[in-house]
Amino acid sequence: MSYARVLCVGLVGVRGHVVEVEADLSIGLPALVLTGLPDAALHEARDRVRAAIVNSGERWPNRRITVNLLPATLPKQGSAFDLAIAVALLAGAGELPLAPMEGVAVLGELGLDGTVRPVRGVLPMVAAVAAAGITRVVVPLGNAREATLVPGLTVQAVDSLRRLIGYIRGESELLPPPPPAADPVPDGADLADLAGQEMGRYAIEVAAAGGHHMSMLGPPGAGKTMLAERLPSVLPRLDDTSALEVTALHSIAGLLPPDGQLIRRPPFQAPHHSASTAALIGGGSGIARPGAISLAHRGVLLLDEAPEFANATLQALRQPLESGRVVLARARGSTEYPARVQIVVAANPCPCAASSGDQYCQCTALARRRYLSKLSGPLLDRIDIQIRLRPVRAAQLMTSSSDPPESSAHVAGRVSAARQAAEARWAAWGWRINADVPGPHLRRPPFRLSARQTATLRASLDRGSLSARGFDRILRLAWTVADLSGHTSPSGSDVDEAAQLRMGDARDRQTRP
């Protein structure tokens, strides 16, 4: 036999595609030719596969070998094709029977000694296998637990090419996947750690309940970073669909924890202000990889010290914040990654960042204006909650043990109830949180608020102090405030509360409404 075919999987962005690895051996000068749009890493598979086969005790066929990856128009990248190429090549040379591998997808990178090493993106690859109707898959032992997250598949693991060859010949068995790992312990960040800042705590609660973006302006030490880091602690755990999306993205980026469990906690990303546009949005040579905004999908993206980011990097966020996805166009094709995040922007009010407030600031008006100009109007217009934090006072910092601050668990209970109310209200349209509801839907009956309730908003819109986008975002905030208050629809005070969160002076809040 001079021809053989083995199934594998290729990734384009977050989507997997079943790939047929064909091997044809013919008479001619000894060579190995790879076709089917392979990238540089895949071109190097020729040397890895040859060394792995020889070091596994098999004979390298001294013939002209052509390996084709179908469909030929789909870009192929990475080293996950190594194991499938080795099996197809040996089967085409007549060294292996192909019957045991019929209808089986094979994934894995080969070391020069024949060991099978883990690869990135196994979860979306295995999901594509299941979607194609294939019921069996062979993966590296280090990826086996991750592969079992996809239901309806028989997953078998392999640690060496020699073991797989022995299995195909009927001489040995493949390895079972490791047992599931225990759920990871939460990181312990809790709102109870934060002293004072009642307004900031309430804004975090509203942001979590409605899925709203948020910005905080305040002096150093006011608690901006602590508030943002504790936002995930009050968000609900991810459901199965969201957990699979998030886990697949982390698998592609090579950031999945070694336990191979689904990521159930909303992810949190806080890139340094020196991060490039590619690091934040996604990019790289060849097929672009996900950036921090996609790795924070269904979670929180914190931009701490936001004015220190490059202006172009900040402006690149505008389109993903509206659409909830990132489309990266490259010469070899376009890649789309989900990016439905809650963004939290934290900034000092000026370059000197006087810790005691504006009265001690040494900056000129021009310097303050230049510093905050990075947070452009179009970017801030997409952020629902915009508050200003004041310095923490001694009385707030030295709270007594008999009256501790409210914990994340208590706040999470209210957030969960508010989200359930919103999901029940919008279920007929497929929306789950208030931030997902289009503005026109809130401006039409039966959800349209009365003219009396929106009089202040309409006046601000006519004066130009509020944009049409801002008007719609205040309406969404009003529904979230109503959900937290247990109201079936926003009252006038709920609308006023939403307007203050969006465009008020953010006075320190002493009690919840």
Would you tell me how many other CB atoms lie within 10 Å of the CB of residue 446? 5
306 vs 218, 219, 250, 458, CA distance in Å?
Answer: 12, 13, 25, 31
Domains for the chain: give ranges and CATH numbers: 3-168 (3.30.230.10), 191-395+404-503 (3.40.50.300)
Of all residues in the chain, what percent carry a pLDDT higher than 90?
68
Q: Taking 50 as the threshold, does the pLDDT of residue 237 lie above it?
A: yes
Q: What is the pLDDT of residues 205-236, one digit of tens each?
A: 999 999 999 999 988 888 899 999 999 999 99
Of 55, 71, 54, nearest to 20 (Cα)? 71
**Per-residue pLDDT band at 508 (split at 50, 70, 90):** very low
| pLDDT tens digits along 452-484 | 999 999 999 999 889 999 999 999 999 999 999
pLDDT tens figures, 2-26: 899 999 999 988 889 999 999 999 9
How would residue 335 be classed by pLDDT, with cut points 50, 70 and 90? confident
* Residues composing the chain: 513
**392-437: pLDDT as tens digits:** 776 666 665 556 788 999 999 999 999 999 999 999 999 999 999 9
pTM of the complete model: 0.86
- Round to whole Å and give the CA distance between 473 and 499: 9
Q: Is the pLDDT of residue 195 over 90?
A: no
Please tell me the distance from the alpha carbon of residue 405 to that of residue 190, in angstroms, as a whole number.
10
User: Average pLDDT, whole number, for the chain?
Assistant: 89
Distance (Å, whole) CA 191 – CA 187: 13
Q: Which among 179, 231, 172, 176 is positioned nearest to 200, based on CA atoms?
A: 231
pLDDT of 480 reads: 97
Identify which of 283, 268, 267, 320 has the alpha carbon closest to the alpha carbon of residue 13: 283
Position 361 scores a pLDDT of 77
Residue 75: band (very low, low, confident or very high) from pLDDT cuts 50, 70, 90: confident
- Which pLDDT value is given to residue 359? 64
pLDDT score of 60: 92
Q: Count CB-CB contacts under 10 A for residue 63.
A: 17
pLDDT, average across residues 237-258:
90
Characterize the bridge pairing of strands 104-106 and 136-140. parallel
Tens-digit pLDDT profile for residues 361-399: 778 888 888 888 888 888 889 999 999 988 877 666 666
Q: Which pLDDT score is estimated for 332?
A: 65
The pLDDT of residue 399: 63
pLDDT at site 300: 96
For 73-87, 174-188, 337-351, which range has the lowest pLDDT when averaged over its residues?
174-188
d(CA 139, CA 221): 49
Characterize the bridge pairing of strands 342-347 and 325-330: unpaired
Indicate if the pLDDT at residue 288 is higher than 90. no
Query: What gap in Å lies between CA 500 and CA 385, rounded to an integer?
Result: 9
For residues 506 and 272, which has the higher predicted lDDT (pLDDT)?
272
